[in-house]
Structure 1
Amino acid sequence: MTTVLIVVAHPDDAEIAMAMRILDYTQSGDRVRVHALTTGHTGSGTDLRRQECLAAGALLGISDYTFSQIPDSRFTSHRAQINAELFTVMRRDRPDIVYTHFPADQHLDHTVTSAEVTAVALREAANLTYFRSPYSTGFEPNEIFMGTAEHLQAKVAALACFTSQQQIDMATFTSLARNQYRQHVHHRVLERLPAEAHASELFSIARRLEFRPATAS
């Protein structure tokens, strides 16, 4: 069983970027934890955003959804706190692989999250992978996850749980999932993809360790 840790800046970041990949992990029996560094602005909406995350997580089989209390849009002034909390988060689960935001991003919270997760994950986890967010810049994937129609339907259902987030355009996300891999895969390769390869999510591997099992003497 693989232990997967996904660290995001905000609720819904994980589902937007990699809901299909999450579902594939959980359907394979792997353990997935999502940790959001903030629940958004303080006030009555905080509990709602937590509940939205838990509802989406239940649909995707996420075993644990946890949160820090970093003020939204104030990550730069709380980097020491973020760094300390990330060590606690990673040492609790000892993840085999960590996912987080791509370093180049137009959203400053995403940029800070990526930098701090990278600093901690390279010490505490074997494998680190960046996902693409809607604000990533200069992103060139070296890993493309191809999901089925079932995976895409699950992603749409998970995103629908975030009723407080009016900026989530289901038609746009569905279209991107169905077509973005064509930008990065040669058409001759596309011709050989199986019919069930219905949609994609894009990733950039920061570090991947491979272990050869010991052979019996």
Structure 2
Amino acid sequence: MNSPSELTFFHAPHSRSSSVRVLLEELGAPYRIHAINLKDEAEYDPSYRAINPLAKVPALKDGDAVITERVAIHIYLPDRFPAGGLAPTVDDPQRGPYLRWLALYGSCFEPAVIDRQQQHAPAPYSTSPYGDFDTLFKTLTDHLEHQGPWMLGERFSSADILWASSLNFTTHFELIPEHPAIRAYIDRYLARPAVQRTYAADIELAETQDAGVTT
């Protein structure tokens, strides 16, 4: 692929796509925001469905390439901007654990949280993609307690932006139990300048959308 040029980032403030905005800021990547107003249901507009037929944010355009799905973007961007140091290279021993935690989030954690929140009857352990919520939750908290402070130990990565942003949301809305290791992990994440900068910018963007200003 050619040298990085400005990316187009399809983003809605205070949504899942906020973690990608943090990632872009941490990487120092060049990007412009195409804001999606979820209150106006702009995600269902045909022009956006042409980008993501599922009508979900985030989405990213890099030249002619379109990348949807948050986990995919969290893998793609650090590899696209390796100078940011947010992903182990393919020959790094930590590459496997890094990919494991990224995949575990999308394939296990989100489905488990939704099932729990919706009070769905659990699927048989052998057919559930995550087994059961309690085992998954203990796997996460044990890892943070004994192998932290980040998912890769002392090394902060894109996986932490994905996980910590989501844990911040799910604990705030009481979708998962409180746990000291998770609280400490979230607090470390929230103290990062790129996170604070992004959250402040998202508040401003949300206020602009509420005022009916097109961005």
TM-score (normalised: structure 1): 0.29
Higher helix share: 2
TM-score (normalised: structure 2): 0.29
Which protein has greater RCO, CA pairs closer than 8 Å, 6+ apart? Answer: 1
